Amino acid sequence: MDYKDLNLIGSSSPHIRTRDGAGHIMGEVLIAMVLPLAFAVYNFGPRALSTAAVSVAGCCLFELLYRLMMKKGNTLGDLSAAVTGVLIAFVCPVTIPYWILLIGDFFAIVVVKQLFGGVGKNFLNPALAARAFMLSWAGEMTTWVGPRSTIPAWGSFDAATYPTPMSFLHEGNLSGLQQMYDIPKMFVGLTGGSMGEVSALLLILGGLFLIWRKVITWYIPVSYIGTVALLTFLFPRGNDPLQWMLYNLLGGGLLLGAFFMATDYVTSPVSHLGQAIFGIGCGLITVFIRYFGSYNEGVCYAILFMNLTVWLIDKSIKPHRFGVVKAKAERRRKPRQSPKKEALKK
């Protein structure tokens, strides 16, 4: 048979192609964040939307400028800068001044990401590193407004500090928290707090969407949230372990961090076992900071800290290669002696 007349393209493998590029995956993450963002606009007013827009624009601008300056290719298309932008807005209070937001964008994109080689090479989660840096302005970063407030996008507003669930949890004041916010309110998200962290319901929906789309796996979120649940249930403050646990799970940035930040590909382990260890570590540190630290919330530092241990986790959990087991067992039976030791014996 003569193959030359057939309409075939000769090429080497791989032959099956997928549309899953970085841009596609980041696009899915952006879709998952639409609902929490919409809820933030509903809960805090139009400023939530403008804050997110400014943050995304800032991140994209800094990425573009840096790549131009360094004469490298434009990487805006992979959308990771946009995701970082939305996440930075999510971890800030809605009243954050725009200039602090832009400094945070600069820190995340230029210092944490691009200086280390751009997308895929950052050693910390850019959004959380930016949040840690933005705590330089501790006053502005901890000015919370109450639920259902309408903060205008521009102009003056009354920024009275409003107690968030986390401040009650930090004091161990369960009954005060129960009076202020009941569990359904916490679940829907009618509380004060950072822009993106309030609505547990929509964050869980977004997380399930990501798991369904196979963008993230369930190992990190489940081990992270599970560890926090177990620890807070076993060591409650107040007389109701179940309520204490639920408030700890629904309050603060736990769900946002577990679904959207700890699962970042670049800064989480490769193997499933490693991801579980990573999640448990995040959970332990989160609870430790919430219980014993001077900050109300520990999610940010827990994830940042575990980011720094990823290389160690990946190194210690190496998958088994086929055929290696036997050789290893043989070596164990017959330990190879180093030349030095042999020389000493003589």
**Contact residues for another protein, defined by CB under 8 A:** 99, 103, 111, 115, 132-133, 135-137
Q: Closer to another protein at the Cβ: 115 or 242?
A: 115
Identify which of residues 65 and 135 has a Cβ nearer to another protein in the complex.
Answer: 135
Other Cβ atoms less than 10 A from the Cβ of 293: the count is 14
Nearer to another protein, 137 or 187 (CB): 137
**Of the two residues 71 and 320, which places its CB atom closer to another protein in the complex?**
71
Q: Which is nearer to another protein, 93 or 189 (CB)?
A: 93
The distance of closest approach from Cβ of residue 140 to another protein in the complex, given in angstroms and rounded to an integer, is 9
* Shortest separation between residue 92's beta carbon and another protein, angstroms: 15
Q: Which DSSP string corresponds to 5-40?
A: GS-----PSP-------HHHHHHHHHHHTHHHHHHH
Q: Is the CB of 115 or the CB of 312 nearer to another protein?
A: 115
Tokens representing 28 are 């899915």
Q: For the packed helices 98-106 and 80-90, what is the interaxial angle rounded to 10 degrees?
A: 140
- Round to whole Å and give the CA distance between 292 and 286: 10
Both tokens assigned to 36:
């929490």
User: Terminus-to-terminus CA distance in the chain, angstroms?
Assistant: 73
Among all chains, which residue has been given the structure tokens 């990401």?
Answer: 113
Q: Locate tokens 């992979």: which residue? A: 78
Tell which residue, 242, 276, 234, has the closest CA to residue 258: 276
C-beta of 131 vs 290, nearer to another protein: 131
Supply the minimum distance, in Å, between the C-beta of residue 123 and another protein.
12
CB of 132 to another protein, least distance (A): 8
* C-beta separation of 249 from 228 below 8 A: yes
Between residues 133 and 218, which has the closer beta carbon with respect to another protein? 133
- Alpha-carbon distance values, 338 to 13, 163, 218 (Å): 44, 65, 45
Q: Which residue from 257, 280, 271 is spatially nearest to 316, judged by alpha carbons?
A: 271
Closest to another protein by CB, 68 or 115 = 115
Name the residue among 16, 29, 115 with its Cα closest to residue 79.
29
Residue 42 C-beta-side C-alpha neighbours within 13 Å? 13
CB of 71 to another protein, least distance (A): 10
**Nearest distance, CB of residue 302 and another protein, angstroms:** 17
CB 134 → another protein: shortest distance, Å?
Answer: 9
What is the dihedral sign for C-alpha 289, 275, 269, 63?
Answer: negative
Q: How far is the CB of 136 from another protein (least distance, A)?
A: 4
User: Which residue type, as a one-letter code, is found at position 37?
Assistant: L
In the complex, minimum distance from the CB of residue 103 to another protein, in angstroms, rounded to a whole number: 7
d(Cα 210, Cα 216) in Å, to the nearest integer? Answer: 6
